[in-house]
């Protein structure tokens, strides 16, 4: 603890020097302000790291789903595992959402795969448009989608997903001249320290109720 205090004192002194603040003016109030600045810098660094990792992932063609404009299952699992570990180390929130577009299955039975794929594309595009740049939208196969949301609490993530689902419900999909309501069941859960990506997916399965 004394060593950590000494390191922090050196850090505050260095920052004060850069900002032109004499050491004698490092009052508790100034120290508190510098501490807040350091926290903001750490947060910004974390956001930049996540953004860069996501850009690199999106540029990897092998990570893209073969049909939908999003990541495939393997890439989702890789990114989910990375973000669960990152949020645990950084002691920040994170959440995972899973969505099952059940109406796409019914549409496939009536009109075939092309119709169902069209609905899935519409849902993925709506999700991608509504989410933040640091969020990851991906396909888990079939009608199952995932959204990985770093730096989001479970409540905040649930509100966001609920909003997107409500928007999709209000704007049905059209297959030729047929108006087809979009029905989605979903579930959101916060990251749990120490769990694997597969464990997180199982715990967030909408079929669990």
Coil/strand/helix, residue 138: strand
CATH topology for 65-208 is: Alpha-Beta Plaits (3.30.70)
Would you place residue 12 in the very low, low, confident or very high pLDDT band (cuts 50, 70, 90)?
low
- Quote the percentage of the chain above a pLDDT of 90: 61
Name the DSSP letter for residue 64. B
CA distance 163 to 70: 20
Whole-number pLDDT of residue 25:
63
Look up tokens 């595992």; give the residue.
81
Strand-pair category, 144-150 with 94-101: antiparallel
Mean predicted lDDT score pLDDT of the chain: 86
Is this model's pTM higher than 0.75 or not? no
CA distance 141 to 90: 31
The per-residue pLDDT for range 97-122, each reduced to its tens digit, is 999 999 999 999 999 999 999 999 99
The per-residue pLDDT for range 153-187, each reduced to its tens digit, is 999 999 999 999 999 999 999 999 999 999 999 99
Structural domain spans, the chain:
2-54, 65-208
CA distance 110 to 191: 38
CA distance 64 to 74: 9
> Once rounded to an integer, what is the mean pLDDT over residues 49-53?
72
Whole-number pLDDT of residue 110:
95
């Amino acid at each position: 603890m004394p060593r950590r205090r000494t390191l922090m004192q050196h850090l505050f002194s260095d920052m004060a020097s850069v900002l032109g603040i004499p050491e004698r003016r490092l009052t508790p109030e100034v120290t508190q302000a510098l501490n807040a600045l350091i926290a903001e810098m750490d947060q910004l660094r974390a956001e930049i790291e996540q953004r860069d990792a996501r850009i690199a992932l999106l540029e990897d063609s092998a990570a893209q789903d073969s049909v939908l404009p999003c990541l495939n299952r393997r890439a989702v699992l890789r990114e989910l595992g990375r973000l669960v570990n990152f949020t645990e180390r950084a002691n920040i929130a994170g959440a995972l959402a899973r969505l099952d577009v059940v109406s796409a299955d019914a549409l496939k039975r009536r009109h075939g795969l092309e119709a169902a794929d069209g609905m899935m594309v519409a849902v993925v595009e709506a999700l991608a448009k509504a989410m933040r740049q640091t969020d990851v939208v991906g396909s888990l196969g079939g009608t199952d989608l995932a959204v990985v949301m770093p730096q989001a609490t479970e409540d905040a993530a649930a509100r966001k997903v609920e909003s997107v689902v409500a928007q999709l419900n209000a704007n049905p999909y059209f297959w030729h001249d047929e108006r087809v309501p979009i029905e989605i069941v979903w579930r959101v859960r916060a990251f749990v320290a120490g769990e694997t990506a597969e464990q997180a997916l199982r715990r967030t399965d909408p079929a669990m109720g």
